[in-house]
Structure 1
Amino acid sequence: MMAEAGENGKKSRLFTGERVVNFRPVFLLALAAACAAFSARFSGWYSLLSALPVTAAAAAVALLKRKGALRRGRRFGMRGAAVFIALLAIVFCGTAAGFQLVREGYEGAPAFDGECYIAGTVHEANAYDYGYRLTLKDVQVMNGDGYFSAEYKMYAYVSGGEHVPAGTRVRFFAEIETMDFFAYGEVNSYPVLDGVKYRAFVGAENVEYAGKSFDLFGSVRDALRGALFSGMEEEQAGVAYAMLTGDSGLIDEGMLDSFRYGGTAHVFAVSGLHIGVVYGLLSALMKKLRAKPFVRLPVIAAVLVFYAGVCGFSPSSVRAMIMCLALSFAGAVGLKYDALNSVSLAALCVLLVNPVYFYQVGFRLSVAAAGGIIVLGGSLSRLLARVPHMPGKLASAVGVSVSAQAATFPILLDSFGYISALGMLLNLVFVPLASFVYSVLFVCAAASCIFPFAARALLWLPQVLLVLTELPVLAFDWKALLIGGFSFGGWALVWFGLCFLLSDKINLRPIPKGVAAALLCTALTAGMVFANAPLPGACVEIYARYGTNFVRIECGGENYLVLTGVPDPTEAERYFLREGIEGVDGVFLACDAQSADGALAALLQSAGVERAYIDAASGYEYGFSETDVFKEEGAFAAGGVFAEFVGGEAVLLRIGGARVLVAGVGTATDGFCKADILIAENYSPGLYAMCLPSLEIYFEKTPAKLDIYDTGGLQISVKDDIISCKGRNVDHEVRIV
């Protein structure tokens, strides 16, 4: 962890100063909490045993440090080291135990399914494509087994209708779905952190409203929403509401995509930019009023906590709030402020409150961006300042932008499948402009909530500024400049290690630092090439997310898809961006005619489709000018793939010597069709008996079977009569019988 300079004051040839890296206890505690959350996911309660090697390693380092200090005639505080080691063990065990308790509580909650009568109070209402998603608290459920009060909240997806104010009591009949702690190979972090266990879908006409109670934060959000939409045009009001609360559901999807593809959508996640502006405004006001520290600190803390509550206590807002409060506290008591310890403290506090935050993309991006700016920003800015004729402010802005992009690069790629190639350049213009616009917007929006009758006048200037802010984002098609088609996986740790090594936090001399960086770069490059290399032979990739099911075949340099239903256009676009696919050579439509038309229409929104194949017996009568549709009867060839539609809504493919049956939900099972691999929605005894496969794979949760709901995705290759199946926690081979 630390290495001292040579004995008798001799300078080390490896590093400058007294040690390679400064000892930062808060950073190490936060790192221990993150490791504990990661370990608990895979090991459960057994992860507590991992605290033993962690504390043993820390104790060994402390003993070595003590031995070195005694040899040089220096004192080493073993008591302080013992206290830190104890804290390290407590944090590790506390985080691991906390994760497991949250998991057991969530998984142990009663499950409801089927048609039920539901009553609940609206905690939050968020717009989505087809209406509103209501987060209901105080949920009560009545079914054939009785009347129950649910421990967890519910997502009610209401199609159509209007915005429902927080605190409104609603009642309706609907089918309930119970969500799981793990879904599609990942921790289901967003509903778990929202305290949501159930979801239901209902039309607005079937919802009954029965009174209204008071909800503080919800009422503030509703008042803010009302003021913005009464004082601004709808487009700018949606953007303003997203900037102030982090809820981007009211923004037009096309505009939101432009912000995402331009790498500027972070402005809609209330974080350091937003909380920092609010903190700066409050600090300036307190300074103007000459408030004493014992008054200034509580006032600033109260306002920031309240604002974070209005934003739903999102991880990014809480992280930024804690950092600002640490800065304010340090200034009030005369302590030296350390930015890295501050962001570490914020991350530690969030993980101790709920370790599941470790698996939320927003938390990772927030901490990574702040940490990247702190670790890399200073050294990059100083390096750029040496460039002739480079203004100091420009060097600082570029250094901050590059460091944030570098730190979030692997997280963005692995989570969303792409990153903006020119996001750094766009942010150089956008971030300073957005900071100024946000400061004006915050003050004017607060005033319009207090004086709603004057909202139109108060919000005129913010509206004009928002229009100007949108211009650089909407001026170009940023989607054409996206980087994607590969992922980091576990190699992201090597990337972060490389970034940390190249920062001024590591005091190595240029030559050893260069050698270490070269070794890490070599390892990272080799690992990335290996991790992203396609499997040998013909390859089948299976992907599913909440009803969007894809089977993709790579054969002979061509890409084919099999669809068994209508995919969600947004999810389809994410998949294609993640895989770096701009178009497919052919699509097999293993579904009825109406679903096939919807599936092809949804697909064409995201990718080009050269050819589409459907069973001639389906009665398909639709068509698209962009795609040639072939109605097939019997066996046929599609490029390097031989196929045949069977059972009404299934397609039998011959890939690399294996017979692969992809079956839709309406597949008839009254015949026999031998297949080596069966891919279907759910297990069906009739379907299994129909094909007697060597390998079964199902899209949805299927107990005791291999399913995408558990694995998140699978890759299958066939070579020399061997079926290789690889995925998260899955790696086995099956011989074709």
Structure 2
Amino acid sequence: MIKRPMLLSSISVVFCILLYYFFGLYPFIAGLLLCLGVIAFLHKSVLNICLFALVFLSVFISALSLDKTVKTTAKLRGKQFTANFIICEETVQKKRNCMVVKSYDNGILPDKAKFYLYYSGKEFSEGEKITAKVKAMAIDGADFKRLNIDGIYGRLYLMKTVGKNGCDLFYGSIGKIRKSVKGYFRKNLSYASYATLIAILLGDKSGLSQSLYDNVKTSGVSHIMAVSGLHLSVIMGLLFFLIDRTVKNKILRFLLICSSIIFICALCSFSASIVRAGVMFVMFAVPPLFNRGTDRLSVLCLTVVLNMIFSPLVVLNISFQMSVAAVFAVMIVLPVYIEWLKERISFNNKFLLTVFEALLISVFAQIFTAPFSIYAFRMISIAAPFTTLIIALAVTLALQLGIISYLLRFLILIPAYLLYVIDVDLAFINRVIEAVGSIKYSAFNVPGWTSVFPAILAISLVAGMYYINRRKENGLPHRL
């Protein structure tokens, strides 16, 4: 009997998606059948085998659709054609004006496929529907695969706008709110503070100066400056505070939580890390509806599987990888060690205990994300745990006060005081990042293969966790 079926299911699905990415569709299918056969051999329950088969079938259908989209768009490289698009988001790519657009009602492009659309001398609104003559840029296979991981299927250049077909209600509404948020803080904060707040609030880093952006990577706080589970938990914390005091009906609470998560993810352009966090929040919100408890590891594994069903290649997205690794470290592994340490160390001062736990959270998160960050960026930051500890509270404060200030913006006095505090807080964050990033030995460039060392350390910590849990289950003292 398999004790944690979702763990085995998620590992199997990740393995099969890697087969698809590196070797193609047929090895992927063979991998799915092999994994299903192994699971059927290990797990005798017909119901559970059917559930595994349903998961694998869902991933297969999603991968099949992805494969069709990739092959269709790959054939269009270098060609000119006319198609319909919805403008999803304005962004900057390679220092050029760019929009993320989604195709619709097309005979040439697959529906709902996203592209980078480059343009010059034109202004568009998010949510606007356009018919445009475009040219698909010729890009190499490696660049095309990198785009696919982010859910983008090509780079297009706008040659001519043929017509405008109204506005999409969802993307148009989100675009107006995003524009309103940016306009409010741009008007009331210094530019440096505004750029930092928009980066941590909406995930838009286009306003960050190149020097600050480089210092963010050097100081090891990329995970804090990118919208992720930390930011969603801060925002949802405010929402839970309001819901707990105003809404008693479980179903209504659940619907409010889900709709709020979708709204926040949309504001943040459905980035991989925020979607992962959003799905996980929803999974944690389901059991209370039925008065059931939650198993954190199973919820995390289910979150990974659901994300891969919706977007198979998300498992290769670096922000998604680091997000899952950090959650696994902080929510699954660390609590076991904290309990183990509390049995051996007496903390009489609650403040010292809080600081100690915060430092452990930072250290464990860095250890488990280091294999991915080192391999992807070829850099290791020695200062990362301490920088994270210093600015984590300041980032939380900036997020909470920023949201409150925006919601109360029509009042006269309160937002002004809040904006002053926010500006000071964000200036502190920027100065810490610049100070740490400018230290000569705060970070080192390293070869990718050195990611093996933090990976071994992370695996050792997981093994220690299982060892402690096993002794606890057997009623033995917790000794390492």
Q: Does TM, scored on the shorter chain, surpass 0.5?
A: yes
Q: Where in structure 2 are the equivalents of 1:488-527 lying within 5 Å? A: 488=449, 497-504=459-466, 507=469
Partner of 1:101: 65
After superposition, residues 284-303 of structure 1 pair within 5 angstroms as 284-303=241-260
SS in 2 for 1:183: helix
1:353 shift after superposition: 1.2
Aligned to 1:641: none
Q: CA deviation at 1:101?
A: 3.0
Counterpart among 484, 488, 495 of residue 445 in structure 2: 484
Higher share in helix: 2
Give ranges in structure 1 of 5+ residues lacking alignment.
3-22, 63-77, 142-146, 511-517, 519-737
- Per the TM alignment, residue 393 of structure 1 is displaced from its structure 2 partner at its CA by 1.0
* Corresponding position of 1:48: 29
Query: How many angstroms does 1:90 deviate by?
Result: 3.6
Q: Determine the C-alpha separation between the residues in 2 that align with 1:113 and 1:490.
A: 38
Please say which structure displays the higher CA radius of gyration: 1
Q: Which moved more, 1:382-391 or 1:434-443?
A: 382-391
1:401 corresponding residue in structure 2? 362
Match of 1:247 in 2: 204
Q: Give 1:138 deviation, angstroms.
A: 4.4
Relative to structure 1, the CA distance from residue 348 to residue 175 in structure 2 (aligned partners, 3 Å threshold; closer, same or farther) is closer
Work out whether residues 147 and 154 of structure 2, in 8 Å CA contact, stay in contact via their aligned partners in 1. Answer: no
**Equivalent residue in structure 2 for 1:435, among 388, 392, 396:** 396
Closer/same/farther in 2, CA of residues 213 and 458 from structure 1, 3 Å limit: farther
Identity of aligned residues (%): 18
Give the Cα–Cα distance (whole angstroms) in 2 for the partners of residues 45 and 509 of structure 1. 44
- Give the deviation of 1:172 after TM superposition: 7.9
Equivalent residues in 2 for 1:255-404, closer than 5 Å: 255-382=212-339, 385=342, 386-387=344-345, 391-404=352-365
Counterpart Cα distance in 2 of 1:212 and 1:452: 36
How far the C-alpha of 1:255 sits from its partner, in A, is: 1.0
SS at match of 1:113: coil
Equivalent of 2:374 in 394, 413, 416: 413
Question: Residues of 2 paired with 1:267 and 1:482: CA distance?
Answer: 17
Counterpart selection for 1:31 from 2, 5, 11: 11
Residue 407 of structure 1: how far off its partner (Å) = 1.1
Cα deviation, 1:696-728, whole Å, max 9, x if unaligned, reads xxxxxxxxxxxxxxxxxxxxxxxxxxxxxxxxx
Note the residue ranges of structure 2 that are not aligned, 5 or more in a row: 473-479
Q: Distance in 2 between matches of 1:505 and 1:321?
A: 31
- The corresponding residue for 2:477 is none
Aligned to 2:476: none
Q: How far 1:93 sits from its partner (Å)?
A: 4.7
Shift of 1:242: 1.3
CA distance in 2, matches of 1:172, 1:108: 19
Q: 1:213 to 1:92 in 2, by over 3 A?
A: closer
Distance between the aligned counterparts of 2:317 and 2:226, measured in 1?
Answer: 13
- Give me the whole-angstrom Cα distance separating, in 2, the residues matched to 1:438 and 1:25: 37
Equivalent residue in structure 1 for 2:433, among 448, 473, 486: 473
TM-score of the aligned structures, taking structure 2 as reference length: 0.83
Measured after TM superposition, the shift of residue 349 of structure 1 is 0.9
Q: Partners in 2 of 1:209 and 1:440 — Cα distance?
A: 42
Letter in 1 for 2:227: V
Instruction: List per-residue Cα deviations over 1:96-149 (Å, max 9, x = no partner).
Output: 4532430222212351526777885532111356342212344899xxxxx966
- How far does residue 281 in structure 1 lie from its aligned partner after superposition? 1.1
> Counterparts of 1:149 and 1:356 in 2: how far apart (Å)?
20
Answer whether contact 2:375 2:451 (CA < 8 A) is retained. no
Please name the residue that 2:142 is paired with. Answer: 183
Instruction: Give the superposed CA RMSD.
Output: 3.6
What is the CA-CA distance between 1:453 and the residue it aligns to? 12
State the one-letter code of the partner of 1:126: T
Shift of 1:379: 3.1
Using a 3 Å threshold, how does the CA distance of structure 1 residues 167 and 295 change in structure 2: closer, same or farther? closer
Aligned-residue offset at 1:462: 1.9
Contact 2:372 2:451 in 1 (8 A): no
Aligned mates of 1:498, 1:93 — CA distance in 2: 34
Q: Alpha-carbon deviation of 1:384?
A: 5.1
Q: Tell which deviates more after alignment, 281-290 or 378-387.
A: 378-387
Q: Tell me which protein shows more strand as a share of its residues.
A: 1
| Post-superposition CA distance 1:663-697 (Å, at most 9, x none) | xxxxxxxxxxxxxxxxxxxxxxxxxxxxxxxxxxx
Amino acid at match of 1:125: E
Distance in 1 between the 2:418 and 2:265 partners? 24
Please give the alpha-carbon distance, in whole angstroms, between the structure 2 residues aligned to 1:473 and 1:112.
Answer: 41
Paired amino acid for 2:370:
F
Q: Rate the CA distance shift 1:344–1:35 in 2: closer, same or farther, 3 A.
A: same
Correspondence for 1:726: none
Q: How does 1:60-71 map to 2 (within 5 A)?
A: 60-62=41-43
Moved more, 25-34 or 280-289: 25-34
Change in Cα spacing, 1:261 to 1:183, as seen in structure 2 (3 Å) is same
Matches of residues 694-713 of structure 1 in structure 2 within 5 Å? Answer: none
CA distance in 1 between counterparts of 2:83 and 2:68 reads 25
Give the structure, 1 or 2, with the largest relative contact order (CA under 8 Å, sep 6 or more).
2
2:87 is the counterpart of 1:122: yes
The alignment covers a number of residue pairs equal to 461
Residues in 2 aligned to 1:478 and 1:419: alpha-carbon distance in whole angstroms: 14
